[in-house]
Amino acid sequence: MKRRLVVGFYGCALRILTNADRIGWCDLSKTNKKQLDKMLQQYQVNGGFDEMLDLESGVRSHYRKFQKLFEELNPEELEAKRQAVDMAFLRQGVTFNVYGDVQGAEKIFPFDLLPRIIPAREWEFLERGLAQRITALNLFLHDIYHEQKILKDGVVPEFYVLSARHFRREFVNFNVPKDIYIHICGTDLIRDGQGNYLVLEDNGRCPSGVSYVLENRRAMKRAFPSMFEGIGVHPVENYAQELLKSLKYIAPAGVADPIVVVLTPGAYNSAYFEHTYLARQMGIEIVEGRDLFVKDSRVFMRTTKGPQPVHVIYRRIDDDFIDPTVFRRDSMLGVPGLINAYRAGNVSLANSIGTGIADDKVMYYFVPRMIKYYLDQEPILPNVPTYLASEEQDMKYIMEHLPELVIKAANESGGYGMLMGPKASKEEIEKFRQLIIAEPRNYIAQPMINLSQHPTYCDGDFDGRHVDLRPFILSGARVSIIPGGLTRVALRKGSLVVNSSQGGGSKDTWVLYGDE
Amino acid sequence: MLSRVANSLYWMARYIERAENIARIVDVNLQLLLDIRNLDEQRLIAYWQPIVQAAGDEESFFKIHPHATGAAVTEFMVFEKTNPNSLVQSICSARENARMVRDQITLELWEELNRLYLFVRSPQAREVWKRGASEFFQEIKASSLHIIGIINATLIHNEGWWFIQAGQFLERADKTTRILDVRYQSLPERGVPERISSDETLEWSAVLRSCSAWDAYKSLYAADVHPRRVAEFLLLSYRFPRSVRFCVNELNRALRLISGVPEGRFTNDAEKLTGRFLAELQFSTVDEIFDVGLHSYLDEAQMKLNNIGAELFRAYIFQPFENPDEVHLVQQEEQQQQKQSLVSN
């Protein structure tokens, strides 16, 4: 077996082009596949972990069935399918809005036809790890808003919780329905160079992206109807039903047939498509702040037949904007008096108020400890090694190793407020050095993880692009996780940033019934 | 149904109908000019100015253009971004309203409306336009009719659908009165004109064509085109689906299905005014209308339709509920926080 080694890419990473890759992809005898064949031959495994290809054995076993069916397509068919899918997304308005863009402002979220495939045993492992994590997080939230045992026992330093931007003092000793704080969680997973899954962050406020999971699947079913049957892929369709079940579960006591609504900031929000999509799938009303009003601590919506009561609100508005009489006074999106009704127990909110603290990247550092503390278990899914700038030892390390580290602001998301040390200029690094020194509580550092890559169709070629995975976890009467989740892909070559606002796209994610 | 949703559906329908009618009116004028001989600039303006007047946008038009030339008027009516009633802007508004209620409409409706929107905003639309305006207008009209078909055939005929019907027929009634009013300057102020020139015959035929009424008219009155009959047909016909009477009848029906109030009664001013206007149309003759003067009659009809729209808004969309005062809520909240801090201390 001949191997060619090419030095380069990210510092120490090696780009390896092997014959093994070719064998896996291109064992084709049919002549009309020449072109596709050639495209696949040139595919390279770039040092890190590749989801589909293994340097030793070629195509990983759980991709083989797919590969076989995929090879039967000729390049023209593939191109036609790709265009049909893009057109369908644009025509259906499967779009996201880009803030600050004056030109109509809607973009389709680029979609890649090659699915990411997860074998059954791997998924079972992920499911267990995610369920463990959300259980611990909900116990943690309940604890810090009540007895604060974990603080008193010194497992999590009190300072970090009380200084967290999203800690809502006003809700200490407030009982949320069924003691569930995070009803819908999006936890971002990545894989390191060895293929180990790591948790990158938890999104316990208003995680978005699940509509793309559902729409991507619809698009794939239309493009490759025969594949699903042959390969055996878990369906994702019943997400909306599960979500509605979780929402009805927290309805105020004594309401037999609760009215559930989705509360959106409006059509100009970047995730508006998703809000309407979910409302439609659940068959419930989507409302804006101005559609609701509060009277005698009860919430009503304005309808053509006069006021109608509302019992559960799946809110896609952050705490800060949800009620101008309590949080930000300048919010035009919220409902005056809503929090008062919530306190009175006449309306339930999902997610609860004050869950943002679980998104705080400093809290993230402590999640493995929470798992041990509340569940007396070892964490199934490890964190990325993390350094806290406000710990003396860690701070020293961070200052000495800034050019190698990834720095993240504790309360930013969407790829903002971030420094990628190895890719940053000297000026950027120094700027962050000053930021960290000025406000250590607000920064963490992590080693640069070379995310796993996945073959992706780029400009008529197959090329490796980095991916992550965001599974969606629902907590109701039980924990339920949509099989797979959203696989985001960084479409720029070599980029490790997968956010849709920063040139990311997505793939359909297949969880197999079996391991092959 | 949420008031905001009803409002969006209603306006979506109005804007689609508006775009279609602009396409009709501009298209027919362009075609008419092909048949008229000895056109000089002055006469051309005499044909184009009434189009702007019919749309009721004279003021904003003359802010941008000094003269009502063909190029200026078509640009203003079709593409002008600053004219909220231009064809392209109407389609944008229709689509924007649909987007606000994306969850309430069917995929088929959204896809077609979105397709139309993407088309009129694409460079391709200009190309089609340059190749031949008729082809462009044909595309708009066909899409609008397609959308109306989708609305009827795929949406549940529930309250939201009745709001769509109300919007569609209110807008159509209004546009029919405006199209009919285009040639008012050739009419005497009161009474029926006695002699009609051959150019005028062509002009009144164009009015009929603007409303897709040519074939229907011919089957009733043969090819004898006279303003008295054209007006009678477009105002009082109870079977032709673009006549004012037909539209007001449909509007009346929609309002009654929304509220559930039977004929002969009313619970809000929208119902009252619509019922009254319908009765008037049912029990009028065209000669009475010409006695008042066609132009003033149409003017008044437009006022009536505007009032109905305003009352509909008041009855269903903007209902002033008794809202607790926000200052009071803030005080309540502050007390709550004080209590809270006592507990946590």
CA distance A236 to B105: 23
Contact B343 A170 (CB under 8 A): no
Does residue B3 sit in the same domain as residue B88?
Answer: yes
What integer pLDDT is reported at residue B340 of this predicted model?
A: 55
Q: A475 — phi, psi (to 5°)?
A: -115, 115
Does residue B146 sit in the same domain as residue B166?
Answer: no
Q: Which member of A279, A301, A326 has the closest CB to residue B333?
A: A326
- B340 in a domain, yes or no? no
User: Which of B329, B341, B343 to mutate to probe the A interface, most A CBs <10 Å?
Assistant: B329
**Chain B contact set for A273 (CB, 8 A):** 102
Strands (E), chain B: none
DSSP A181: S
Does the predicted model carry a pTM greater than 0.90? no
| DSSP class per residue in A40-93 | HHT--B-SS-BSSEETTTEE-GGGHHHHHHHHTS-HHHHHHHHHHHHHHHHHHT
Does residue B107 sit in the same domain as residue B163?
Answer: no
Sign of CA dihedral A60, A66, A72, A76: negative
Does residue B148 sit in the same domain as residue B168?
Answer: no
Number of domains in chain B: 2
Does residue B142 sit in the same domain as residue B164?
Answer: no
Do B292 and B192 contact (CB within 8 A), yes or no? no
**Chain B contact set for A290 (CB, 8 A):** 4
B323 touches A: beta carbon within 8 Å? yes
Q: Give mean pLDDT, residues B162-180.
A: 95
Q: Which is more confidently placed, B334 or B345? A: B334
Give B129-134's long-range contacts (Cβ < 8 A, gap of 24+).
B129/B78, B133/B26, B133/B27, B133/B30, B133/B74, B134/B27, B134/B30, B134/B31
User: Which of B1, B2, B101, B313 to mutate to probe the A interface, most A CBs <10 Å?
Assistant: B2
* Beta pairing, strands A197-203 & A184-191: antiparallel
Does residue B167 sit in the same domain as residue B281?
Answer: yes
CA A336 to chain B, closest CA, distance in angstroms equals 7
The two three-digit tokens of residue B254, written as one number: 């929609």
Of B100, B130, B154, the residue that ends a domain is B154
Contact A291 B340 (CB under 8 A): no
CA distance A469 to A212: 13
B2 touches A: beta carbon within 8 Å? yes
Interchain CB contacts (distance < 8 Å): A and B: 94
DSSP A447: E
Does residue B145 sit in the same domain as residue B191?
Answer: no
CA B10 to chain A, closest CA, distance in angstroms equals 13
Distances (CA, A) of B42 to A254, A335, B33, B247: 77, 59, 13, 36
The domain of B91 spans: 1-154
The residues facing A314 across adjacent strands are A262, A350
CA distance B275 to A344: 47
CA distance A299 to A341: 7
Reported as a single tens digit per residue, the pLDDT across B216-251 is: 999 888 878 999 999 999 999 999 999 999 999 999
Does residue B103 sit in the same domain as residue B172?
Answer: no
Of B97, B129, B154, the residue that ends a domain is B154
B212: left (phi over 0), alpha (psi -120 to 50) or beta: left
Q: Give mean pLDDT, residues B159-177.
A: 96
**Chain A contact set for B344 (CB, 8 A):** 169, 172-173
What integer pLDDT is reported at residue B34 of this predicted model?
A: 79
CA distance A177 to A348: 7
Buried b (16+ CB within 10 A) or exposed e, A26-57: beeeeeebeebbebbeebbbbbbbbbbbbeee
Does residue B164 sit in the same domain as residue B107?
Answer: no
CA A445 to chain B, closest CA, distance in angstroms equals 34
B146 touches A: beta carbon within 8 Å? no
**Chain B contact set for A330 (CB, 8 A):** none
- B335 in a domain, yes or no? no
Q: Which residue of B has its CA nearest to A336?
A: B326
Does residue B58 sit in the same domain as residue B121?
Answer: yes
Of B98, B127, B154, the residue that ends a domain is B154
The residues facing A197 across adjacent strands are A191
Q: Which member of A279, A304, A325 has the closest CB to residue B159?
A: A304
Side chain identity at residue A395, one-letter code: M
Strands (E), A427-478: 443-447, 453-458, 461-470, 472-475
Which residue, among A150, A96, A99, has the nearest Cα to A357 in the 3D structure?
A150
Contact A276 B102 (CB under 8 A): yes
Q: Which member of A267, A300, A302 has the closest CB to residue B99?
A: A267
Q: Cα torsion at B20, B21, B24, B30 (round to 10°)?
A: -120
CA A304 to chain B, closest CA, distance in angstroms equals 5
- B328 in a domain, yes or no? no
Burial zone of B342 (CB within 10 Å; 0-12 exposed, 13-18 middle, 19+ buried): exposed
Distances (CA, A) of A412 to A203, A386, B172: 11, 16, 51
Q: Which residue's structure tokens are 């003092």?
A: A169
The two three-digit tokens of residue A176, written as one number: 């949320």
Specify the 3-state DSSP secondary structure of A326.
Answer: coil
Domains annotated for chain A, with CATH where assigned, are 253-346 (3.40.50.11290), 385-447 (3.30.1490.270)
Place B47 in a pLDDT band, splitting at 50, 70 and 90. confident
Q: Which residues, 6+ apart, have CB-to-CB distance to A205 below 8 Å? A: A166, A318, A319, A351, A355, A356, A359
What integer pLDDT is reported at residue A107 of this predicted model?
A: 67
What integer pLDDT is reported at residue B36 of this predicted model?
A: 76
B276 touches A: beta carbon within 8 Å? no
Q: Give mean pLDDT, residues B56-80.
A: 90
Q: Which member of B1, B2, B324 has the closest CB to residue A295?
A: B324
Q: Which residue of A has its CA nearest to B115?
A: A91
Q: How many helices (H) and strands (E) does chain B have?
A: 17, 0
Does residue B200 sit in the same domain as residue B287?
Answer: yes
| Chain A residues with a Cβ under 8 Å from any Cβ in chain B | 90-93, 104, 169-170, 172-173, 267, 273, 276-277, 279-280, 285-288, 290-291, 293-295, 300-307, 324-326, 329, 336-337, 339-340, 343
CA A277 to chain B, closest CA, distance in angstroms equals 7
Cis peptide preceding A216, ω within 30 of 0:
no
Q: B303 — phi, psi (to 5°)?
A: -60, -45
Does residue B178 sit in the same domain as residue B220?
Answer: yes
Count of other CB atoms within 10 angstroms of residue A154? 8
Mean pLDDT by 10 residues, chain A (516 residues): 28 29 35 49 73 86 90 84 81 61 58 94 97 97 96 94 88 94 96 94 91 91 86 93 96 94 87 88 91 93 91 94 84 88 95 92 95 97 95 94 92 76 91 93 92 87 91 96 95 81 86 92
Res B323 pLDDT > 70: no
CA distance A168 to B240: 64
